[in-house]
Amino acid sequence: MPFPPTTLTERLLHAVKRLEVETPADTRVATAYGYQVQVGQNRQLPALITTRAALAQAQAVTLHMHLAQGGEPLRETTALRMAGATLHIVPHPNAAIDLAALLPARAITAWGQANPGRSLYAMWLDDTVFFPEERWDELDALESLAIIAATEKLTDSANNLPLILAAHSASHPLLDWSGQPEFLLGARLLPGMWGAPVLLMPGAGRAGRNPEALAARSRYGLIGTLRGGVGADPQGIGLVVKARETHRLLEGVRREVTERLKPN
């Protein structure tokens, strides 16, 4: 890679992954983004956030990750296939919410055992990427957004990174569209984008790459997950599950993993 990821957007480029989901009927492509779940005081567990529909009837899921050298990402990627005991899916605790988490820890461990001396580059996000819930009242009806997605057909075979697509809110983010914890966005939507993170984008450009300059872009952060298209033109209007439901999904992951770790 020409540079290590520094900004939130660059970190998200490495945190966003392409999923190839094998079902009894076909293989579908979806997007997911990585998050480090804190389980207890001393344990962290990687999770990939995507949609429940993307993982429906999954028999196997293939995840592509960059290789690493000296702690920095290489352009080369490798495939991790999760099936059977290594396929671990946790749906949102509310069945009406189209979110789910894929837990790749077993597959990553198995890959490391099979490839001694080699390393994977993993970028796992944390709560700092979320636009603060207490600041949602600042949002206006028309907001500039960005989607980071690993599309089905348009891929960067040299760098193996996802796309960044401009978008805008199509309904007021503060309102729950049709009574659900969702809002609409307008963008050019492509197959494979469901599960992509949606970011609030206050404006283009930056003052520098140092932490102070990055911190100055305070109206910037993750506000939801793209789950599908709607209306007469499903390629132009998308549904976004609000970020508060991502937090609830992650709490569900913590509870399930904590229960599994309890001694019998």
* Upper half-sphere CA count for residue 14 (Cβ side, 13 Å): 23
Q: Per-10-residue mean pLDDT for the chain, 264 residues long?
A: 72 90 94 90 89 95 91 88 92 96 93 91 89 89 93 82 93 95 94 94 54 57 92 78 96 86 62
What pLDDT was estimated at residue 20? 95
Residue 211 has a pLDDT of 52
**pLDDT for residue 262:** 65
pLDDT of residue 204: 42
Predicted local distance difference test score (pLDDT) of residue 205: 43
Domains of the chain: 8-126+246-261 (2.40.10.10), 128-244 (2.40.10.10)
* Beta strands, E only, the chain: 16-22, 27-39, 43-50, 60-69, 72-83, 89-91, 100-102, 119-121, 144-149, 163-169, 182-186, 197-200, 221-229, 237-242
Looking at residue 206, what is its pLDDT? 46
pLDDT digits (tens, 9 = 90+) for 17-44: 999 999 999 999 999 999 999 887 778 8
